[in-house]
Amino acid sequence: MTTLYCACCGRPFVRTSARGPAPFYCSQDCRLQMAVRRRAWNGRTATRQTVERHEVEPAPFGRLPATAGGQRAAASWR
C-alpha cells in the first residue's frame, strides 16, 4: 500500500484501499480538528473582510442621496 502523510499532524499512515480518493487525514480526530480549524479560519476571514469593507466605505446614515431638484427618484416596481 501507499504511505501518505496526514495534512493535520504530518504523521505517516498507510492508505487502506486503492479505491476512491486518497484520504488527507490519518484519523477521525485529525478530520474533526481540521473541521474546527476551517470554521475558525473562515470566521476570522469573514470578520476581517467586514471590518475592511467598513473602513473603506462607511455606511451612509441619515438622508438619502439627493437627485435633481432635491427630489427622490421614483421607485419602479416593475
User: Where does the pLDDT of residue 54 fall: very low under 50, low under 70, confident under 90, or very high at 90 and above?
Assistant: low
- Is it the case that residue 32 has pLDDT exceeding 90? yes
Asked if 15 contacts 22 with a C-beta cutoff of 8 angstroms, the reply is yes
pTM of the model: 0.49
- Is it the case that residue 63 has pLDDT exceeding 70? no
At residue 50, the pLDDT reads 66
Instruction: Provide φ and ψ at 45, rounded to 5°.
Output: -65, -45
Q: Which three cell numbers stand for residue 51?
A: 471590518
What is the C-alpha separation between 64 and 60, in angstroms, rounded? Answer: 8
Range 47-69 average pLDDT: 62
What is the C-alpha separation between 27 and 35, in angstroms, rounded? Answer: 13
At residue 40, the pLDDT reads 87
Range 55-62 average pLDDT: 62
**Amino acid letter at 43?**
G
